[in-house]
Structure formats: C-alpha cells, structure tokens
Amino acid sequence: MSDVKGIKYVLVSEPDEGIYDALNKGIKLATGDVIGLLHSDDIYFDENVLAKVALLFEEKNVGSVYGDLVYVDKKDTTKVFRYWKAGEFNENKLRKGWMPPHPSFFIRKEIYDRYGLYDTDFKIAADYDLILRFLGKHKISTLYLPEVLVKMRWGGKSNKSLSNIIQKSYEDYRALKKNTSNNPLLILFKKNLSKLPQLFKK
C-alpha cells in the first residue's frame, strides 16, 4: 500500500477470471465508506465529480448515488456519440429496463458487505445483475445527481462485436430471470429500446 498526497492506494497485478473477478478483488481491498469504479478507458467529467458525490453521501445519508454518462471518441474525448441521461429513479423504471450508468454508480461499501459482490457467472452483464439485486430486490436507497459524471470511450466490452452484443442480451435476460418475477423478455426489449433516444440527446 502506498500513500500519495494523503490518498492511499493498493496496486495489484495478477491473473484473474475476468473483469468482475478483478472488481471484486478491488472491493474487498477497499477501506473507504463509498466505492466508485472507474475502468481503464473511462475518465471523470471534471475534477469536482468525487467531491460532489461525497457531499451528497454526507448530506443525504443514502446507500448509493448515480449520475449521467457520455460515450466519447477514443482519441477526442470532447466528441460525444451518446448521452446517457439516467433521470430520477423509481422502482417502476426497473420493470421497464432502466438502469443507471454503471461507471457513474457509487455505492457504500457496507452495501456490498451486506448483499454481495459481482456474480462472476456473468461475463458481461454482472453490473446489470448487481443493480437489479441492489435497487430492485434489496431496495437500497439511491439519489440522482443530474449531471454528467463520467466520460466513457466508445467500444467497450459489451458492444465491441456482434457476438458480444448477443451475449450481453442473453446475460441481461438471465439477470432479469434471477432478480424479477416480471416478464424478462418484455423488460429486455424495453431496455434495448430505451437506448435509442440516447443517441440523439446532447
């Protein structure tokens, strides 16, 4: 463990069983109260994101906080391809395929300790499974911060090829069957349909 400007961090480089196994390792090592996950191609929108999120956790005492996300060009991160405006949460939205952008979803560590980590049986959609489990099944409290928190470079694992898109849809279906008693095929259809307007929002 190292300490730079008062920030403690642990660097681990070793084989793992996929991205969610690696995320689980990080969560287990974390010692803070709130966990945010920033993947290798993602960047926070500006230097104030973490301060804003931390303030909401402190003032509102909620289990989680989330915001919006934009997909950007790999080289020019000012060029936006898709605007994922999450909007305010309500449980009915989950039944329509809604989910917050995973990289913008900050969760108290005690939630992971209580309800479990990412299910590594899922290779692409463990984030959706976790969101359904936390917000739907266990009904943790959450708060929407209505601004862009993360820039994600276009071409992630779930959409980099047709086979990955098909696998993602199948795993989404499995996650829905696991966590909801509603019609998983209908919810999956609504989930995919809801992405279309994001291509036109600025």
**To 10 degrees, what angle do helices 162-179 and 184-193 make?**
130
Q: Which residue has the tokens 């929407």?
A: 144
Domains of the chain with CATH codes: 33-199 (3.90.550.10)
Q: What whole-number percentage of the chain has pLDDT above 70?
A: 87
Look at residue 199 and tell me whether its pLDDT is greater than 90.
no
The answer to whether residue 2 scores a pLDDT higher than 50 is: no
Distance of CA 138 to the CA centre of its chain: 17
CA atoms within 13 Å, Cβ hemisphere of 174:
16
Q: How many Å from the N-terminal Cα to the C-terminal Cα in the chain?
A: 41
Give the residue from 106, 140, 122 showing the smallest Cα distance to 176.
122
Q: Are 101 and 66 in contact (CB under 8 A)?
A: yes
What does the alpha-carbon distance between residue 199 and residue 101 come to, in Å, rounded to a whole number? 15
Q: What angle do CA 150, 154, 158 make, to 5 degrees?
A: 95
pLDDT above 70 for 159:
no
- From CA 48, how far away is CA 175, in angstroms rounded? 34
Beta bridge partner(s), residue 142: 64
Mean pLDDT of 156-166: 67
What tens digit of pLDDT does each residue of 58-91 get? 999 999 999 999 999 989 999 998 999 999 999 8
Strand partners, 107: 35, 64
Would you state the structure tokens that stand for residue 191, as one six-digit string?
């989930």
Instruction: Write out pLDDT tens, residues 6-64.
Output: 566 677 777 678 899 999 999 999 999 999 999 888 999 999 999 999 999 999 999 99
